[in-house]
């Protein structure tokens, strides 16, 4: 594959000629005529979901953090480090994916995704600065270097992206798409549930509110790749996809059991396995592939949906705005969309 030209006077942006990859685009954002209307709809939603982390009050979280158990503090710090890595990686990675996308309406939403990933990185900095003692702040950013389980976890997903950058073949591009789908749809959620678990026990409510906004964005990012992947990857080309899913699931379970295990009230190793395999099956189903883990079809953390408030219709789960953060303009109009 070759990256699209920045300046391409001979390009053809007609609907008939437009393609997600390998098209001949001029790079002009002609959004009056679009081939993929789902991208326009998603763009509007993403723009409506503008939010600022500093608007969330974290003053009570500083006290809550001091009173967390040692196991809760360790999980909080480790999961925060992992989330920082993921969103930092995506802020840098998404533009490289977009370089090979030749549909302007999809390039537009990938640009918004990049911006949202940067906001997430800023959010973690705000949490660290507001809650953690000065002497431990750098430790969070370096945690992934020192923890061998987390390092291997980060290394796997980053290596897939790096391989595509070093050798931009179509096969490596397809693997990068699946890696993005796994990152956005699988990697975050045991960590998110940890914060919702704390909130359910009246701890770290401000942090949980920020995680809700990040969670909402990530669900939209899942939709982006859910729509791109079936257009690019053949339906019978699945063995390597299952292999990537299996690796990601095993790493997610190993990491979550390492950083949480059975040490946090309301979370268990058994539930972690069930939840992670349930997520994997759900993601595969969304791209029209068979379940990898037969029988894992129920969410063992359904009770946390009331805290996360992510149960809606379709792929974009909504109404994150009934929590404490209502003092600034954020859309509450997403009741669920059929993308």
Report the chain's C-alpha Rg in angstroms.
20
Contacts of 37 (CB under 8 A, 6+ apart): none
pLDDT for residue 128 is more than 90: yes
Q: With a cut of 80, say whether residue 330 has pLDDT above it.
A: no
**Lowest mean pLDDT across 46-50, 218-222, 317-321:** 317-321
When pLDDT is averaged across residues 154-161 and rounded to a whole number, the result is 97
Residue 331 in this model has a pLDDT that exceeds 60:
no
- 108, 35 in Cβ contact below 8 A? no
Q: Which of 260, 313, 271, 280 is nearest to 73 (CA)?
A: 260
Q: What is the pLDDT of residues 60-111, one digit of tens each?
A: 999 999 999 999 999 999 999 999 999 999 999 999 999 999 999 999 999 9
Tell me what the mean pLDDT of segment 155-183 comes to: 97
Q: Do 21 and 232 touch, CB atoms closer than 8 A?
A: yes
pLDDT digits (tens, 9 = 90+) for 251-278: 999 999 999 999 999 999 999 999 999 9
> Does residue 281 have a pLDDT over 70?
yes
Q: What is the pLDDT of residue 309?
A: 66
pLDDT at residue 59 above 80?
Answer: yes
pLDDT higher than 80, residue 339: no
Instruction: Using the predicted structure, report yes or no on whether residue 303 has a pLDDT greater than 70.
Output: yes
- pLDDT for 163 equals 98
Integer angstrom CA distances of residue 50 from 43, 55, 66, 142, 327: 12, 12, 31, 29, 13
Torsion angle, alpha carbons of 120, 121, 127, 130, to 10: -130
> For residue 325, is pLDDT > 90?
no
Q: Per-residue pLDDT tens for 196-240? A: 999 999 999 999 999 999 999 999 999 999 999 999 998 777 889
Q: Rounded to an integer, what distance in angstroms lies between the CA atom of residue 267 and that of residue 65?
A: 19
Check residues 318 and 244 and name the one with the higher pLDDT: 244
From the centroid of its chain, how far is CA 118?
A: 12
Task: Judge whether residue 320 has pLDDT over 50.
Answer: no
> Rounded mean pLDDT of the chain?
90
CATH architecture of 58-333: Orthogonal Bundle (1.10)
CB 159 within 8 A of CB 265: no
19: left (phi over 0), alpha (psi -120 to 50) or beta: beta
Catalytic positions are 124
């Amino acid at each position: 594959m070759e990256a699209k030209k920045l300046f391409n006077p001979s390009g053809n942006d007609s609907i008939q000629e437009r393609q997600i990859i390998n098209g001949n685009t001029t790079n002009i954002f002609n959004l009056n005529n679009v081939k993929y209307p789902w991208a326009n709809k998603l763009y509007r939603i993403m723009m409506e979901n503008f939010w600022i982390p500093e608007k969330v009050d974290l003053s009570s979280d500083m006290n809550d953090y001091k009173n967390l158990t040692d196991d809760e503090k360790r999980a909080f710090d480790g999961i925060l480090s992992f989330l920082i890595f993921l969103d930092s990686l995506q802020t840098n990675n998404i533009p490289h994916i977009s370089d090979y996308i030749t549909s302007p309406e999809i390039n537009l939403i990938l640009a918004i995704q990049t911006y949202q990933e940067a906001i997430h990185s800023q959010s973690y900095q705000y949490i660290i600065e507001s809650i953690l003692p000065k002497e431990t702040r750098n430790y969070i950013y370096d945690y992934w270097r020192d923890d061998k389980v987390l390092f291997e976890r980060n290394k796997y997903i980053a290596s897939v992206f790096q391989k595509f950058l070093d050798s931009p073949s179509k096969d490596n591009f397809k693997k990068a798409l699946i890696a993005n789908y796994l990152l956005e749809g699988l990697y975050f959620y045991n960590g998110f549930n940890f914060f919702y678990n704390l909130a359910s026990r009246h701890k770290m409510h401000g942090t949980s509110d920020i995680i809700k906004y990040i969670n909402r964005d990530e669900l939209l990012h899942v939709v982006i790749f859910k729509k791109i992947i079936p257009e690019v990857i053949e339906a019978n080309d699945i063995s390597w996809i299952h292999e990537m899913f299996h690796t990601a699931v095993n790493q997610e379970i190993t990491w979550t059991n390492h950083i949480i295990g059975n040490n946090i009230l309301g979370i268990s190793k058994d539930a972690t396995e069930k939840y992670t395999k349930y997520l994997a099956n759900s993601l595969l189903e969304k791209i029209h592939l068979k379940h990898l883990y037969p029988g894992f079809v129920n969410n063992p953390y359904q009770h946390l949906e009331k805290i996360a408030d992510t149960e809606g219709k379709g792929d974009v789960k909504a109404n994150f705005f009934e929590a404490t953060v209502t003092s600034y303009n954020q859309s509450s109009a997403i009741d669920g969309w059929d993308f």
